[in-house]
């Protein structure tokens, strides 16, 4: 089941996400940098990459609590990318940054191993919620596996 | 009983007053599932309402897609500034910017959620009905 993250309500408290390791793949420099900064502000350690290959290499080499990737590339084969991630480790939560209606993604990727979808534009509070839920999911899945 | 036009209640012209059955070919004229003529069966042609809705949905999805990224970057930086700026005057201006960005986000969400072609008259101009009242309330 994919979770959609809403967050128009304000919550000024920053999460204590200290030490959470996040792998962020986003081709767009400005977007990548601002998301990295936001996550760092939440106390996460972020490895931000530009290319798909780089993302898979980092994922293979490191240990991450969450993978966030941007779906905003027309030529990206999302399912293939997800399979590549799952071949390396299928217990790590995966979040996709998307631009269209949530229902569309739920139909298209409901059976895939995407755990969270954040529809852009999003705010601090949604990232905070994502980190919190992904951490809980990761603990639950790894604990039971 | 025939009416004043001798049409027996059927006001179609004589040549159009055919039965559904083609007696020469012995088949139902209305048989096919696609009843548009050959011209209209070309790709991209069809009922005007369907074409309008399709055009609107495509435009709405394109706008939502294209606006999402710049808005994410702007909102992200505003959020970062809000969490670090101390000066109250700057902070309240950032709050105003954030409020307007949220209004834009809601409009984008309305565009994404569009499922039917509905319009509203806006001072003689036809606009898509995508929760204009809601946006007005926020602004």
pLDDT digits (tens, 9 = 90+) for B40-90: 555 555 677 778 888 889 999 999 999 999 999 999 999 999 999 999 999
CA distance B26 to chain A (A): 45
Q: Which domains does chain A have, with CATH numbers?
A: 18-144 (3.40.50.2300)
Chain B contact for A73 (CB, 8 A cutoff) = no
Q: Do residues B102 and B138 touch, judged by C-beta distance below 8 A?
A: yes
pLDDT exceeds 80 at position B39: no
What is the average pLDDT across A104-130? 92
Cβ contact, residue pair B105, A41, below 8 Å: no
Contacts of A106 (CB under 8 A, 6+ apart): A2, A117
Chain A residue with CA closest to B61: the answer is A100
Lowest-pLDDT choice from A1-10, B26-35, B62-71, B80-89: A1-10
Identify the residue among A99, A105, A106 best suited for mutation to test binding to B, counting B beta carbons within 10 A and taking the highest: A99
| Residue bearing tokens 């940054």 | A97
Percentage of chain A lying above the pLDDT 70 cut = 86
CA distance A145 to chain B (A): 35
pLDDT at A110 over 80: yes
pLDDT reported for residue B14: 54
SS3 A121: coil
Question: Cβ of A91 under 8 Å from any chain B Cβ?
Answer: no
pLDDT at res. B33 = 57
Verify whether the Cβ–Cβ distance A37 to B73 is below 8 Å: no
Please state which of the ranges A118-122, B45-49, B130-134 shows the lowest mean pLDDT: B130-134
Cα A31 → chain centroid: 14
User: What is the rounded distance in angstroms from the CA atom of residue A92 to the CA atom of residue B108?
Assistant: 31
Is A14 strand, coil or helix? coil
Distance CA A19, CA A42 (A): 10
Quick one: which of A123, A39, A109, A46 has its CA closest to A81?
Answer: A109
The interface pTM score, or ipTM, of the predicted complex is 0.84
Residue A37 clears pLDDT 60, i.e. is over it: yes
Q: Do A99 and B68 touch (CB under 8 A)?
A: yes
Contact B71 A31 (CB under 8 A): no
Nearest to B81 by CA among B68, B93, B72, B94: B94
Let me know: does A137 contact A92? Beta carbons within 8 Å: no
* Helix ranges restricted to H, B31-131: 48-84, 88-112
Beta strands per DSSP E along chain A: 3-4, 21-25, 45-49, 66-70, 94-98, 116-119
CB contact under 8 A, B73 and A31: yes
* Backbone φ and ψ of B29, nearest 5°: -65, -25
């Amino acid at each position: 089941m994919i979770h959609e993250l809403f967050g128009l309500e304000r919550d000024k408290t920053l999460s204590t996400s200290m030490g959470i390791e996040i792998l962020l793949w986003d081709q767009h420099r400005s977007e990548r940098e601002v998301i990295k900064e936001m996550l760092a502000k939440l106390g996460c350690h972020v490895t931000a990459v530009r290319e798909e290959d780089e993302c898979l290499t980092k994922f293979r080499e490191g240990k991450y609590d969450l993978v966030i990737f941007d779906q905003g590339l027309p030529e990206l084969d999302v399912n293939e990318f997800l399979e590549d991630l799952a071949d390396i480790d299928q217990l790590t939560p995966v979040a996709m940054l998307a631009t269209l209606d949530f229902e569309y993604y739920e139909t298209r990727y409901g059976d895939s191993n995407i755990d969270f979808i954040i529809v852009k534009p999003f705010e601090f509070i949604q990232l905070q919620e994502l980190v919190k839920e992904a951490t809980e999911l990761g603990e639950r899945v790894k604990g039971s596996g | 009983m025939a009416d004043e036009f001798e049409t027996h209640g059927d006001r179609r012209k004589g040549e159009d007053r055919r039965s559904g059955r083609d007696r020469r070919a012995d088949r139902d004229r209305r048989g096919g599932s696609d009843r548009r003529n050959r011209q209209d069966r070309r790709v991209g042609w069809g009922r005007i309402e369907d074409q309008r809705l399709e055009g609107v949905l495509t435009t709405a999805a394109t706008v939502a897609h294209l606006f999402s990224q710049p808005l994410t970057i702007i909102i992200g930086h505003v959020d970062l500034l809000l969490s670090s700026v101390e000066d109250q005057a700057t902070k309240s201006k950032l709050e105003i910017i954030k409020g307007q960005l949220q209004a834009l986000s809601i409009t984008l969400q309305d565009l994404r959620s569009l499922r039917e072609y509905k319009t509203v008259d806006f001072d003689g101009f036809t606009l898509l009905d995508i929760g204009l009242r809601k946006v007005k309330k926020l602004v």
